[in-house]
Amino acid sequence: MNRPACPAELVGGGDQAERERKTQLLNILTISGGVVCLLFLVIMYLTSPGSIYLLGFWMMLACCVVSWVLTRVGRVRVASLLYTCSLALVIFLMSLGRVFDGVVGPAIYYLLVPVLVAGMVIGPMATFGFATLDAALIAVITVVARRVLPYDPLRWDEGVLAVVIPATILCYVMAVVAWLYGRSLERALRRVTEQGQQLWMANEEISAISRTLEEKVTERTQELRDFVSIAAHDLRNPLTVIRGITELLLESRAEGADQRRNRQIGLLAANVDHMLDLTDNLLDISRLHEGSVRFDMEALPIQAIIEEVCAGFEGQLVAKGLGLKVDLPPDLVPVWGDRLRLTQVLNNLVANAYHYTPAGAIIVNARHVDHVVEVSVSDTGIGISSRDQKRLFAQFFRGEHAVVRSTKGTGLGLAISRAIVEGHDGEMSVESELGRGSTFRFTVPVAPNSPAGGAVVSADQSALPS
């Protein structure tokens, strides 16, 4: 596999990050330096309006403003040099002013600051340049002090040389420290950039493999769907013939005939029905996935469909000893849907409730909510675990509960039902707790030009003894 080329912005990512770091730091320095200069100017105008130091602070303030402007327009290196040089010059002027006041004071040590700033905003090697510049400025201060101050060997050694010599040495020590720090930071950024490049290339390779696998899975899935669709279609015709023959055999059974033969015919008919249901479900799920199903949409009285489906289960519910309650408002608005498909959805939900409710009751209700009608089917059955709920609407999925495993099914009913509901621009959901029953809900849009409907009033339409 060819290794993907790393994008240019990632190749230069370390340099870009370093430039951004220097830009942000320079912005902080110029803004904070300008604020400090303003404060000192205000204080000095209030306390010492004729001080010679005012010129230095005005100069530093002007350099801070110019450096900030240059940074904003992208001239970061020029701004860095201007700011650092002006800082060194202002400190030099302050120290020189102290010499004229008769003192070579510790203010000269502030010349270490430009060396540190140079390492942070210009580069590691710039520290040695500014250390040399500071050493030259210290030499100038020393020469001026020799000419201005009265010469006293003892006082000169203790008052001048004891300050300027350590200051010069410290400038170069600070330069070495800043250089070492800058080099280590550059190496760290370089390592981060290289690791970023490696991660990017690995991610690209993984993405390429993932895309290839996804394409293969999609291709194989489509082949499987095509095979299932063709197989189900081809199986349905002979199964229909076999079903017709078994119906004739069932009708020809006579009382007193061979009971074993009658049982075998009944078993054959049940298995043929099961296979027909399976092929119908496979065809449905294949067509729904392909989008080849065309819904015959019309305004439908949803309450009539609900009552019709529930009436079809009355015999089975009575035989099992389950109760059935249908709660519908008397003024439920019509829905916009396909009668056959909505009947299929309700049959699937009620059938599931029947199969997985050993005792208790099934409740079916509907209500008008905004622009949809919400239908729910509740039961007092075995319930569904939270883990199974996550995969409940997947094709061929069946839960791990013993009752589910012992009940015949293909695991396609809920997947088909959700696809039908979504084909009606509706939604299907489930609420369940293991051992405490389940409630399935789905929505269907209200038919166009239907009245908004009044308040929902429950009415017990049908009830069977539990």
Q: Are residues 89 and 14 in the same domain?
A: yes
Q: Are residues 349 and 407 in the same domain?
A: yes
pLDDT band at 453 (very low <50, low <70, confident <90, very high): very low
Who wins on pLDDT, 240 or 387?
Answer: 387
Does the pLDDT of residue 144 top 90, yes or no?
A: no
Pairing of strands 323-327, 361-369: parallel
Domain-terminating residue out of 241, 272, 293: 293
Q: Are residues 109 and 67 in the same domain?
A: yes
Domain-terminating residue out of 270, 293, 316: 293
C-alpha 343/C-alpha 335 separation (Å) is 13
Residue 367: predicted pLDDT: 93
Residue 183: predicted pLDDT: 78
| Percent of the chain surpassing pLDDT 70 | 79
Q: Is the dihedral of CA 351, 356, 362, 368 positive or negative?
A: negative
* Domain of residue 438, CATH code: 3.30.565.10
Q: Are residues 177 and 319 in the same domain?
A: no
Q: Are residues 236 and 303 in the same domain?
A: no
Give SS3 for 56. Answer: helix
Shortest CA distance to 348 belongs to which of 410, 423, 271, 283? 410
With a CB cutoff of 8 Å and minimum separation 6, the contacts of 184 are: none
Residue 95: predicted pLDDT: 77
Give SS3 for 50. Answer: coil
Residue 260: predicted pLDDT: 74
Does the pLDDT of residue 10 top 80, yes or no?
A: no
Q: Are residues 247 and 186 in the same domain?
A: yes
Does the pLDDT of residue 109 top 80, yes or no?
A: no
Who wins on pLDDT, 69 or 397?
Answer: 69
Does the pLDDT of residue 78 top 50, yes or no?
A: yes
Q: Are residues 241 and 306 in the same domain?
A: no
Average pLDDT over residues 100-116: 74
Q: Are residues 307 and 321 in the same domain?
A: yes
pLDDT band at 159 (very low <50, low <70, confident <90, very high): low
Average pLDDT over residues 124-149: 80
Q: Are residues 258 and 116 in the same domain?
A: yes
What value does the mean pLDDT of the chain take?
79
pLDDT digits (tens, 9 = 90+) for 242-296: 777 877 777 776 665 667 777 777 777 777 776 767 676 666 666 666 666 788 8
pLDDT digits (tens, 9 = 90+) for 346-366: 999 999 999 999 999 999 999
Does the pLDDT of residue 456 top 60, yes or no?
A: no
C-alpha 81/C-alpha 87 separation (Å) is 10
With a CB cutoff of 8 Å and minimum separation 6, the contacts of 457 are: 329, 330, 331
Within 10 angstroms of residue 193's Cβ, the number of other Cβ atoms is 20
Residue 291: predicted pLDDT: 66
Who wins on pLDDT, 59 or 364?
Answer: 364
Per-residue burial over 215-240, b = 16 or more CB atoms within 10 Å of its CB, e = otherwise: eeeeeeeeeeeeeebeebeebbeebe
Q: How many domains does the chain have?
A: 2
Residue 247: predicted pLDDT: 77
Who wins on pLDDT, 201 or 3?
Answer: 201
Q: Are residues 212 and 235 in the same domain?
A: yes
pTM for the model: 0.50
Structure tokens at 397: 């999925």
Does the pLDDT of residue 9 top 60, yes or no?
A: no
Q: Are residues 231 and 315 in the same domain?
A: no
**157: DSSP letter:** I
Residue 457: predicted pLDDT: 35
Residue 299: predicted pLDDT: 93
Shortest CA distance to 381 belongs to which of 357, 401, 360, 403? 357
pLDDT digits (tens, 9 = 90+) for 190-242: 787 788 788 888 888 898 898 888 888 777 766 666 666 666 656 666 767 77
| Percent of the chain surpassing pLDDT 90 | 19
Q: Which residue range(s) make up the domain with 406?
A: 298-464
Q: Are residues 77 and 109 in the same domain?
A: yes
Out of 74-83, 224-233, 392-401, which region has the weakest mean confidence (pLDDT)? 224-233
pLDDT band at 464 (very low <50, low <70, confident <90, very high): very low
Average pLDDT over residues 66-94: 83
Average pLDDT over residues 155-178: 75
Domain-terminating residue out of 231, 261, 293: 293
Does the pLDDT of residue 148 top 80, yes or no?
A: no
Residue 365: predicted pLDDT: 93
Residue 94: predicted pLDDT: 78
Residue 118: predicted pLDDT: 82
Instruction: Give me the phi and psi of 258, to 5 degrees please.
Output: -60, 110
